[in-house]
Amino acid sequence: MEVCFRPYTAGDAERCLILFDKNCPEYFAPNERRDYANFLASNPGDYEVCIANGEIVGAFGLMEDEPNISRIEWILLNPNMQGSGIGSVIMDKVLGQARGNDVEIISIATSHKAYMFFQKFGAIVMSRTEDGWGAGMHKIDMELRL
């Protein structure tokens, strides 16, 4: 599967929210939709969409928190594309971007449903909050040290 990336623009919000809906409630708690909509409405500068066959099939961002510390924001793929290696392509891009900007720590706030994906790239669990994202969706805070 050939994928490419481009910066997020305001016109992509609807498509990104459709991707959210396709991953809810399996991977995101329903109450997180408003947070994602607000995030998209803020026109995040470092957010990117992932395109395959001319369609937006995913999105992610690496945002700077402070010098040398960045965080992965809202990484998600269309469920029909999950498990086919696009997430790994995104993580390679994230790691390359981080190294290029002298980032030392990437923080990741994820869920009990996805943390094992980030573990594959060296992220370690820092804490777990029961129901941290909403009922039945536990929050896992992780750090990936470069």
Would you tell me which residues interact with ligand COA (CB under 6 A)? 23, 27, 75-77, 82-88, 110, 113-114, 116-117, 120
Closest residue to ligand COA, judged by C-beta, is 87
Give the single-character DSSP code of 1.
Answer: -
**Is the CB of 90 or the CB of 103 nearer to ligand COA?**
90
3-state secondary structure (DSSP) of residue 67:
coil
Residue at 94: amino acid letter = V
Cβ at position 125, least distance to ligand COA in Å: 13
Cβ at position 41, least distance to ligand COA in Å: 19
**Is the CB of 61 or the CB of 87 nearer to ligand COA?**
87
Cβ at position 116, least distance to ligand COA in Å: 4
Residue at 109: amino acid letter = A
Which residue, 55, 92, 99, 47, is CA-closest to 74? 47
**Is the CB of 67 or the CB of 127 nearer to ligand COA?**
127
* DSSP letters for 23-52: TTTTTS-TTHHHHHHHHHHT--TTEEEEEE
